[in-house]
C-alpha cells in the first residue's frame, strides 16, 4: 500500500517516529520498525527516527500488507451527497471511519471502495481520503475526499475550523441555560484507557450548545464544534453534569439508557456545512435521526 502524505500541521515539530505512530494509529515500536525498514520515509531529505518534522515535509508510505482478509461491508450506509471530488455518507452506528488495530467490523472507507467509489490516494495507508472522522458509536454525516484537490482543500478547511458541524445530542438532566459555550482543554485520561478528560495539559476544545427540547429528565440539544477533539461532546457535556444519555463511560445513568432502548450514546452528526473544494459554493448537507435514536425520543416524549 503506497501513498504520499503532507506532514499534518498538528505533528510539525514532533519526532518522525512519534508522528508516524500517530498518523497510522500504531505503537511507537511498530512505527520505528516501519522507518528502519524504509516502509515509511521522508521524501527528498535524509532522516532517522529522531528527525523533527518540518512544515512542507512529505511522508511516503510503502507498507506491505500482512494478509488479505475480507472486511464486512456496511450495506445500509447511505450516500447523501456525491460528485467527482467528495462523497458524504450517513454513517450508521457500529461502523468505523477506517480500519485500525483490533477492529474487525465494517468501515466507511472499505464500504465505499466495495461499492466502486473512487477515493484519492492522498492520506495515510488505510485512511486515504479521510479528513475528519466519527467514532464507531456515533452516527451521522461524514465527508470523504475522492480527488487530490478535495483532500488538500478539505483538510485545510477542517484544520482551520471553517467547516461547520452540527450534532444533536440527548443529555441527561434539565440544562439550566438555553444556550452556552464550554471552553475547556481535552486530553487523554491518565487512569482509564480509551477515555478522555478535561486537563490543563490537553488541547483547546470549544463546544457551543442550544436547547431544542426539554423532557425534564433529559434535554435535546444542538451542538456546534469549533474544534474536533476525540469524544469532545461527550467529555464537555459530562463536565457540566449532563452526560449524554446512553453513555455510562462518561457518567450517564445506565438505567435511563436501557429504558429508552439505547445501547450507545444518543449522538448524531446532523448537518455538515462547507465550501465546495472546487466550485467554492457554500454547501449544506443534512441528515435524519436513525431508528434507535428516533425510538428513544418517542419513548421519552411519551
Give the per-residue pLDDT at 298.
96
Q: What is the mean pLDDT of residues 26-37?
A: 84
Burial of residue 17 (CB within 10 Å: 0-12, 13-18, 19+) is: buried
User: Is 67's pLDDT higher than 50?
Assistant: no
C-beta separation of 271 from 286 below 8 A: yes
DSSP sequence for 14-26: SBHHHHHHHHHT-
pLDDT band for 64, please (50, 70, 90 cuts): low
Interval 223-253: pLDDT, tens: 999 888 889 999 999 999 999 999 999 999 9
Residue with grid cell 456515533, as numbered in its chain: 138
C-alpha span between 164 and 177 (Å, rounded): 23
Model pLDDT for residues 273-285, shown as the tens digit of each residue: 999 999 999 999 9
Cα distance between residue 30 and residue 20, in whole Å: 9
**What percent of the chain lies above the pLDDT cut of 90?**
71
With contact defined as beta carbons under 8 Å apart, do 235 and 197 qualify?
A: yes
What residue has cell string 528502519? 36
Question: Does residue 202 carry a pLDDT above 80?
Answer: yes
The residue written with cell numbers 465550501 in the block is 275
Domain boundaries, the chain: 2-62, 165-268+294-301
Beta-bridged to residue 213, according to DSSP, are 220
**CATH number for the segment(s) 2-62:** 3.10.290.10
| 10-31 pLDDT tens trace | 788 889 998 888 887 777 788 8
CA 70 to each of CA 97, 105, 106, 108, 123: distance values in angstroms, whole numbers, following the listed order:
17, 10, 10, 14, 22
Q: CB of 270 within 8 A of CB of 222?
A: yes
In the set 135, 183, 210, 286, the catalytic residue is: 135
Q: Give the model's pLDDT for residue 93.
A: 94
Q: How far from each other are the two terminal CA atoms of the chain, in whole angstroms?
A: 52
Would you say residue 44 has pLDDT above 70?
yes
Rounded Cα distance, 41 and 20, in Å: 9
Pairing status of strand 218-225 against strand 206-214: antiparallel
What is the CATH number assigned to the segment(s) 165-268+294-301? 3.30.2350.10
- Catalytic residue at 135? yes
pLDDT for the residue 1: 56
Q: Is 10 exposed, middle or buried (0-12, 13-18, 19+ CB in 10 A)?
A: exposed
Calpha distance 278→268 (Å, rounded)? 28
Amino acid at each position: 500500500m503506497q501513498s504520499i502524505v503532507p506532514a499534518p500541521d498538528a505533528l510539525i515539530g514532533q519526532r518522525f517516529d512519534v508522528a508516524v505512530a500517530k498518523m497510522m494509529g500504531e505503537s511507537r515500536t511498530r512505527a520505528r520498525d516501519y522507518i528502519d525498514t524504509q516502509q515509511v520515509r521522508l521524501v527528498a531529505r535524509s532522516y532517522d527516527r529522531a528527525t523533527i518534522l518540518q512544515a512542507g515535509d512529505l511522508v511516503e508510505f510503502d507498507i506491505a500488507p500482512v494478509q488479505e482478509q475480507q472486511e464486512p461491508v456496511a450495506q445500509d450506509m447511505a450516500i447523501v451527497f456525491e460528485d467527482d471530488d467528495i462523497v458524504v455518507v450517513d454513517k450508521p452506528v457500529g461502523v468505523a471511519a477506517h480500519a485500525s488495530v483490533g477492529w474487525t467490523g465494517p468501515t466507511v472507507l472499505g464500504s465505499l471502495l466495495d461499492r466502486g467509489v473512487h477515493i484519492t490516494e492522498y492520506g495515510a495507508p488505510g485512511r486515504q481520503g479521510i479528513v475528519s472522522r466519527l467514532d464507531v458509536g456515533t452516527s451521522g454525516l461524514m465527508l470523504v475526499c475522492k480527488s487530490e484537490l478535495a483532500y488538500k482543500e478539505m483538510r485545510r478547511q477542517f484544520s482551520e475550523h471553517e467547516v461547520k458541524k452540527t450534532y444533536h445530542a440527548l443529555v441527561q438532566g434539565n440544562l439550566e441555560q438555553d444556550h452556552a459555550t464550554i471552553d475547556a482543554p481535552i486530553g487523554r485520561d491518565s487512569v482509564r484507557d480509551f477515555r478522555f478528560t478535561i486537563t490543563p495539559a490537553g488541547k483547546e476544545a470549544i463546544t457551543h450548545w442550544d436547547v431544542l427540547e426539554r423532557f425534564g429528565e433529559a434535554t435535546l440539544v444542538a451542538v456546534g464544534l469549533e474544534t474536533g477533539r476525540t469524544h469532545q461532546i461527550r467529555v464537555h457535556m459530562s463536565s457540566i453534569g449532563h452526560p449524554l444519555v446512553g453513555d455510562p463511560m462518561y457518567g450517564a445513568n445506565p438505567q435511563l439508557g436501557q429504558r429508552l432502548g439505547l445501547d450507545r450514546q444518543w449522538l448524531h452528526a446532523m448537518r455538515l456545512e462547507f465550501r465546495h473544494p472546487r466550485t467554492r459554493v457554500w454547501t449544506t448537507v443534512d441528515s435524519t435521526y436513525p431508528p434507535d435514536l428516533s425510538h428513544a425520543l418517542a419513548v421519552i416524549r411519551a
